[in-house]
Chain A
Amino acid sequence: MSRSALNEAAKRCAFAPVFAALGDPTRLSLVAKLCGGQPCSISQLTEDTQLTRQAITKHLRVLEHARIVHSTRQGRESRFAFNPEPIEDIKRYLDLVSEQWDDALARLRAFVESCPPM
């Protein structure tokens, strides 16, 4: 794994908004509904919730800002669809940081196991 690949991944994914967007139970349930792949209208997403259409719309905008969902207009209605990319980017980033630690810890092992105690 090259450091430039790591750098690229780090640059591509702006973590904070993605994690922040996911850190709310309502938004998580919206993601849960949408990640089946089927785009939904705001009315569909408001069904079975105690929340108003306005509240759901607000949450959808937060998810949209983090690129976790995107909306398209169909006639008078907006439909929202799941976009897996930001979350995949985070996974990739964590994988890369994790690999870097594997390398560093392997060097630590070699270091402490080969040097006799002073």
Chain B
Amino acid sequence: MTDSIEKRMELKAPVSRVWRALTDYREFGEWFRVKLDRPFVPGQVSRGHITYPGYEHIPWEVVVVRMDPDALFSFTWHPYAVDPKEDYSKESPTLVEFRLEKTATGTLLRLTESGFDKIPAHRRLEALRMNDGGWTEQMKNIKSHVTLGA
């Protein structure tokens, strides 16, 4: 059972442009569809609310972990904690990491969301490979789905 989601995407834009889209709170809000009231600061909570039509009442909250210019932006959150009545604070948050690399045509963006559990994924996967049939098939589906990327 994998515990992370990984995406890779080539963007036809310079690293500095992508970096700003990720880390400027207004620009982030534009494409992520969230209204934030202040800039991202490592170690601090960022609060806002979703601007996705129909979900405007939903609060959005992350804790910024790292901002290494043009290289790594990361935060922890409770992924898609969309029920305002639910208390998600008792759940362990996941870690979202955006990594940027310069390429010949622009920027390679790698997104990872990890920590859906705290257990080394490879160990579980190894053990589960012992079975054939539905299980193994399902593991393969998960793996291909999460590694195919956008």
Contact = CB atoms under 8 A, between A and B. Distances in A.
A87 interface: yes
Contact of B2 (A15, A25, A94, A110): A94
Interface of B: 1-3, 5, 7, 9, 11-14, 16-18, 21-22, 27, 30-33, 52, 54-55, 79-83, 86, 91-92, 109, 111, 113, 116-119, 123-124, 127-128, 130-131, 133-135, 138, 141-142, 145-146, 150
24 contacts: A3-B54, A3-B80, A16-B91, A19-B119, A29-B130, A31-B128, A32-B131, A35-B134, A36-B133, A87-B1, A87-B138, A94-B5, A94-B145, A94-B146, A97-B80, A98-B5, A101-B113, A104-B33, A105-B150, A106-B150, A112-B13, A112-B21, A113-B13, A117-B17
Interface residues of A, number: 43
A108 B52 CA distance: 14
B31 A19 contact: no
A107 interface: yes
